[in-house]
Amino acid sequence: MAKTKSAYFCQNCGYESAKWLGKCPSCNQWNTFVEELVEKQSSSVPAWKTTPGSQRSNKPNKVENIESSMETRIPTGDQELDRVLGGGLVTGSVTLIGGEPGIGKSTLMLQLALNMTQKRILYISGEESEQQIKMRAERITTSPKAECYILTETSTQNIFKQIQQLDPELVIVDSIQTLHSSQIESTPGSVSQVRECTAELLRFAKETNTPVFLIGHITKDGAIAGPKILEHMVDTVLQFEGDRHHIYRILRSIKNRFGAAAELGIYAMNGNGLREVTNPSEILLSQRDEELSGIAISATLEGARPMLIETQALVSVAAYGTPQRSATGFDTRRMNMLLAVLEKRCGFRLSTRDVFLNIAGGIKVEDPAIDLAVLVAIISSHEDISVSSKICFAAEVGLSGEIRAVNRIDQRISEADKLGFERIFVSRYNMKGLTKEKYSLEIIGVSKIEDVFTALF
């Protein structure tokens, strides 16, 4: 056996140190260092001084001389996943799916394995027994036609032995933190094990052109457990998120070497698995007959997909000395900034009020175009005057109260038009080059917040 040496690894970021440290110099976390055994480097000769026989055969190649090859995409049978991946699964790619426990990662992957017909799929589980997976499979499908094999195994050496025999066309690993490689002596889930197992699977994927899905746990602050380096190693990182108490789940691409990042897929978790939501706007707008105050609808864009989302605000007199500010699905700091704009530029006395903000459907919105709807919802609640549910908003708000233009305004307007909205407020600077006649809804260009308020209230 090779002589082993040990090193200390930060369990948060993967920083390696020869001795134990109380505080990680890389990520500043305390008490995260754990000793792990690592394989001794077989040679101390620098790579560039090795003997000619072992030299790599790759030579520099001019860009124009490199043959371009069409990447082959395999449709997964799941339209939402295909879109998030950028148009299907790329052969030889490694995709990491992270998400909180119980959010539905295993369900999503098993469903994928059972729905991809005419493909030999190997689903490796280190977390559940065959019986448990069978029970889940029965809930998801009534007639599994797929050639899907289940392997409950955690040693990568045994896994590769089985892979050689089965020769699968897709491999799913649930989860990367449960695997262990005999190359490394530390416990499964530790930084060096996770890194080594991922490296082995990566090598396998690239050499055999087999796509691999890895499920990864996330830590309590939302990062994928194990080193950040894991995210650098794989081709695509997807995040499965949502409120466990809501039925909607969102699959978001954080990194994608083969497509646009920040693409979004929406699912609903039912009694029999995850169902694709093809028309998100309809579910994100709550069904209501009467007009209520504190609600405004925003035409946002998540990835390349326009969505109409309801923002709800509640403004009330602060019961305690310090007013409370809380936002779900929206950045609290940004909300505080918008409140300051209202206070300073429009003269609303909000500093003595509690302000609560909620984005419907348990969705997190980062698109700045939601700003205007947030402001309108706050004022609507403050003044207790409702805004018609046939009006929507798409604009960013600047620090001096100016209404700023947002990207892809055409797409937002067409979506609102399609859903039967009658009026949309956009920035005046977005009006240039817009063919108003194309739409049946009224487009109102504004340049200051005051313009919006006088038009509405």
In the bound state with Mg ion, the residue whose beta carbon lies nearer, of 223 and 318, is 223
In the bound state with Mg ion, the residue whose beta carbon lies nearer, of 217 and 353, is 217
180 binds, among Mg ion, ligand TYD, none (CB under 5 to 8 A by kind): none
53 binds, among ligand TYD, Mg ion, none (CB under 5 to 8 A by kind): none
272 binds, among Mg ion, ligand TYD, none (CB under 5 to 8 A by kind): ligand TYD
> To the nearest whole angstrom, how small is the minimum distance from the Cβ of residue 362 to Mg ion?
20
> To the nearest whole angstrom, how small is the minimum distance from the Cβ of residue 196 to ligand TYD?
23
> To the nearest whole angstrom, how small is the minimum distance from the Cβ of residue 100 to Mg ion?
10
| Residue (of 326, 419, 310) closest to 370 by Cα position | 310
> Was 103 annotated as part of a binding site?
yes
Work out whether 142 is an interface residue with ligand TYD (CB under 6 A): no
65: left (phi over 0), alpha (psi -120 to 50) or beta: alpha
In the bound state with ligand TYD, the residue whose beta carbon lies nearer, of 106 and 210, is 106
Among residue numbers 256 through 275, which ones bind ligand TYD (CB under 6 A)?
Answer: 269, 271-273
Among residue numbers 428 through 457, which ones bind Mg ion (CB under 5 A)?
Answer: none
> Was 99 annotated as part of a binding site?
yes
> Was 60 annotated as part of a binding site?
no
Work out whether 106 is an interface residue with Mg ion (CB under 5 A): yes
> Was 448 annotated as part of a binding site?
no
> To the nearest whole angstrom, how small is the minimum distance from the Cβ of residue 64 to ligand TYD?
46
Contact indicator for 206, 181 with CB cutoff of 8 Å: no
Peptide bond into 175 cis (omega under 30): yes
321 binds, among ligand TYD, Mg ion, none (CB under 5 to 8 A by kind): none
> To the nearest whole angstrom, how small is the minimum distance from the Cβ of residue 90 to Mg ion?
24
Work out whether 114 is an interface residue with ligand TYD (CB under 6 A): no
| Residue (of 218, 215, 255) closest to 235 by Cα position | 255
In residues, how long is the chain? 457
Q: Which amino acid is at 405?
A: A
Distance CA 322, CA 340 (A): 15
> To the nearest whole angstrom, how small is the minimum distance from the Cβ of residue 217 to Mg ion?
9
In the bound state with ligand TYD, the residue whose beta carbon lies nearer, of 112 and 376, is 112
> Was 49 annotated as part of a binding site?
no
b/e per residue 360-386 (b: at least 16 CB within 10 A): bbbbebebbbbbbbbbbbbbbbbeeeb
Residue with the shortest CB distance to Mg ion? 106
Distance of CA 300 to the CA centre of its chain: 17
Among residue numbers 271 through 330, which ones bind ligand TYD (CB under 6 A)?
Answer: 271-273
For residue 257, the number of C-alpha atoms closer than 13 Å in the C-beta half-sphere is 15
> To the nearest whole angstrom, how small is the minimum distance from the Cβ of residue 136 to ligand TYD?
5
> To the nearest whole angstrom, how small is the minimum distance from the Cβ of residue 173 to Mg ion?
11
Could you tell me which residues are beta bridge partners of residue 299?
308
Distance CA 152, CA 141 (A): 21
Q: Which one of the spans 106-114, 364-372, 398-406, 439-447 is the region binding Mg ion (CB under 5 A)?
A: 106-114
| Cα 144 to Cα 76, 111, 261, 340, distances in angstroms | 15, 10, 32, 57
Q: Could you give the maximum distance between any two Cα atoms of the chain, in Å?
A: 80
In the bound state with ligand TYD, the residue whose beta carbon lies nearer, of 174 and 196, is 174
Distance CA 289, CA 416 (A): 19
Distance of CA 47 to the CA centre of its chain: 38
In the bound state with Mg ion, the residue whose beta carbon lies nearer, of 109 and 369, is 109
Binding-residue pattern over the window 91 to 110 for ligand TYD, x denoting contact by CB under 6 A: --------x-xxxxxxx---
Count of residues touching ligand TYD (by CB under 6 A): 15
| Cα 364 to Cα 44, 241, 273, 357, distances in angstroms | 49, 9, 23, 12
Tokens of 333: 């700091």
In the bound state with Mg ion, the residue whose beta carbon lies nearer, of 108 and 424, is 108
> Was 247 annotated as part of a binding site?
no
Q: Which residue has the tokens 């939402």?
A: 80
In the bound state with Mg ion, the residue whose beta carbon lies nearer, of 24 and 97, is 97
| Residue (of 82, 139, 74, 83) closest to 106 by Cα position | 139
In the bound state with ligand TYD, the residue whose beta carbon lies nearer, of 104 and 227, is 104
Q: Which amino acid is at 328?
A: T
Could you tell me which residues are beta bridge partners of residue 342?
none
Site residues, Mg ion (CB under 5 A): 106
Annotated binding residues for ATP, as ranges?
Answer: 99-106
Site residues, ligand TYD (CB under 6 A): 99, 101-107, 136, 139-140, 269, 271-273
